[in-house]
Amino acid sequence: MLEVSNISVTYGQHHALSDAALHVERGEIIVILGANGAGKSSLLKAIAGLLPSPAKIVKLAGRDLSRLPPHEIVESGLALVPEGRGVFGELTVAENLLLGANPKRARAVEAAQRAKVMTLFPRLGERLAQTVRTMSGGEQQMVAIGRALMSNPDILLLDEPSLGLSPLLVRELFAALRKVRETGVGLLLVEQNARESLAIADRGYLIENGKITGSGIAAALQSDDAVRRAYLGGLASEAI
Partner 1 sequence: MTNAVLTGLVLGGMYALIAMGLTLQYGVARIMNLSYGEFLIGAAFASYWLFTGWALNPLAGLAFVIPVSFGISYLLYRVLLTPLVRRARTRDALEVDSILATFGMMFIVQGIMLTMFGGAYFSYSFLAVPVTVVGEVLALNRLIAFGLAVVVGLALYLTLTRTRIGTSIRAVAVDPIAAQLVAIDVTRTSALAFALGGALVASAGVLISMFLTFSATSGVVFTMKALIVVVMGGVGNLLGCLVAGLALGLSEALVATFIDPGLTLAVNFALFLGVLLVKPAGIFGRAQR
Ligand X SMILES: Nc1ncnc2c1ncn2[C@@H]1O[C@H](COP(=O)(O)OP(=O)(O)OP(=O)(O)O)[C@@H](O)[C@H]1O
Binding stretches for partner 1 (CB under 8 A): 48-50, 69-72, 74-75, 79-80, 82, 86-91, 95, 98-100, 102-103, 147-148, 151
Residue 92 CB, shortest distance to Mg ion, in Å, is 28
d(CA 238, CA 78) in angstroms, rounded, equals 41
Binding status of residue 14 toward ligand X by CB under 6 A:
yes
Neighbouring CB atoms inside 10 A of 162's CB total 22
Which residues lie closer than 8 Å to 165 by C-beta, 6 or more apart? 137, 138, 141, 173
Residue 6 CB, shortest distance to partner 1, in Å, is 22
Return the half-sphere exposure (C-beta side, CA atoms, 13 A cut-off) of residue 92: 9
d(CA 185, CA 17) in angstroms, rounded, equals 26
Would you say 179 and 120 are in contact if contact means Cβ atoms under 8 Å apart?
A: yes
Using CB under 6 A as the binding rule, the residues of this chain from 40 to 99 that contact ligand X are 40-42, 83
Residue with smaller CB distance to ligand X, 38 or 185: 38
* Residue 98 contact, options partner 1, ligand X, Mg ion, none, Cβ 5-8 Å cut-off depending on partner type: partner 1
d(CA 227, CA 86) in angstroms, rounded, equals 30
Binding status of residue 37 toward ligand X by CB under 6 A:
yes
Residue 102 CB, shortest distance to partner 1, in Å, is 5
Radius of gyration of the chain (CA): 18
* Residue 168 contact, options partner 1, ligand X, Mg ion, none, Cβ 5-8 Å cut-off depending on partner type: none
* Residue 215 contact, options Mg ion, ligand X, partner 1, none, Cβ 5-8 Å cut-off depending on partner type: none
Q: What residues line the site for ligand X (CB under 6 A)? A: 11, 14, 16, 34, 36-42, 83
